[in-house]
Amino acid sequence: MASRYHCPVELTMDVVGGKWRPVILAHLKEGVHRYGELRRRMPEVSEKMLVQRLRELEADGLVSRHERDTNPPWVEYRLTDEGRSLAPVLQAMYDWGLERARRTGATIIDPPT
């Protein structure tokens, strides 16, 4: 992570850029999710990528991980305050994506809850 940028948007993309990070954040914005729920909502991402991104988002202070010591394991992910501060960005992305899909005929497949 660099610390000198020539435009605030560069910094934002450094934190929430990449294929899956904003998608994870958008789901967590809707509430606490277990690991398996995230997997079901993002059927295209590999386990490796999902875990990797979650760890990075944790390290960046946007997401927190909560492990219940049960069997079977139960792990929840949620946004931190810093993560919630991204809500306007995520919402704008979500809204634009919906409209763009309408205009271009792309399909949004409803994810299972």
Partner DNA sequence: CTGTATCCGCACAGATACTG
Partner DNA sequence: CAGTATCTGTGCGGATACAG
Summarize as ranges the residues that interact with DNA (CB under 7 A).
18-20, 34-36, 39, 44-49, 51, 53, 55, 65, 67, 72-75
In the structure encoding, which two tokens stand for residue 70, read together? 């049960």
Residues 42-101 contacting a copy of itself, CB under 8 A: 42-44, 82, 85-86, 88-101
Per DSSP, the three-state class of 22 is helix
Q: How far, in Å, CA of 81 to CA of 71, rounded? A: 30
Shortest separation between residue 51's beta carbon and DNA, angstroms: 4
86 and 62 in contact (C-beta within 8 Å)? yes
Shortest separation between residue 86's beta carbon and DNA, angstroms: 18
In the structure encoding, which two tokens stand for residue 37, read together? 């729920």
93 and 22 in contact (C-beta within 8 Å)? yes
Would you tell me which residues interact with a copy of itself (CB under 8 A)?
2-13, 15, 17-19, 22-23, 26-27, 41-44, 82, 85-86, 88-101, 103-109, 111
